[in-house]
Structure 1
Amino acid sequence: MNKLIKKIFNNPWIIAVFAPLITAGISSVWISKKQNINIKESLLIIYEFIKNIFNHKVSIWNIILFIMLLFILQYIIVFIYRKNKSKSFCKYPGWYYNFNTMNYKEWIFKWNYQIYANTYDIQSLRPICTCECELVRKTRIENTYYNRHILFCPNCHKIYESPDKDTIEELKRLISYNIDKHYTS
């Protein structure tokens, strides 16, 4: 029974139809008490008003014209929405797959994107080797110890300095600038 009541009150059609009727009933009772009018008379006036609306004779052409205007309005709204949506995002489909590596200072960086509701977020920004292998962060290679982290390529055994936080932040800003300038409208 409780689920049935929730289902009824969560139905948008029932809410759209009964909410104005309930509001009109409550407001009529409130106004009738405030102006010293009989509640039965005020409810009778509302009933007569609703009955006159339903008894009003409407030609079929008026109904067809009204439905056609609704469809035209719907198509106009959808057209404007799609036009604005395509302008606000990007010119090229799959742009985020095409621009995911960049040379910056002495490193080559690679990243992924996370797309949220028409915006992008740069994820997993990391330096890679010239052979395109992922680098490993180490403080020791065989018998050689380093006083700070270095980046080591397991494929070609090249060693790179690890970029600092400022370099990473600069690169994120540069990537965002390039995306906004070249890939979005």
Structure 2
Amino acid sequence: MVSTIEDVIKFLNQHGFSVTTAESCTAGLVAALMADISGCGTALQSGYIVYTEEAKNSCLDVSLQTIQAFGLTSEEVAREMAVGALKKSSSQLVVAVTGTAESNDSLDGVICFSYGLRTAMGYRLMSETRKFEGKRNHVRKAAAMHAIISLPEVYEKIQLHPEIFT
């Protein structure tokens, strides 16, 4: 089990994988935390910061209908962000993050993640929603760390059962 960003970078490099990020509420923090680690040059390919509806739509082809139907803080939007990142990169793995790091309602701290893997059978996606406690930047950092640390586990789950992830 990996527990540090360094471990994740080693895992990615050992498997010859690169990652592309698609980030909304974390605003590039996932990519920045990975870039802090020596050796990330082959593991981190690219990152998209898509904070607004317009950016999600124009940069990653997230459907405006999906955004209107499910809201920006939704696994459906995160999944479309992940697919857009897979289509626009040659990375084997992508991680998409969208959510609300700060609000005065029930969405406060609710973050949606989608992980995508490029396979011989096409794209495989896994998504989840988590709630983080704390102030805005604490939530953003916790979400970014979760996104990174989860990559090896997500890869293993999808590799073991690719048929259940679509």
- Is the pair's TM-score, using the shorter chain for normalization, greater than 0.5? no
More helix by share: 1
Q: TM-score when scaled to structure 1?
A: 0.17
Structure of greater relative contact order (alpha carbons < 8 Å, 6+ residues apart): 2
Q: TM-score when scaled to structure 2?
A: 0.18
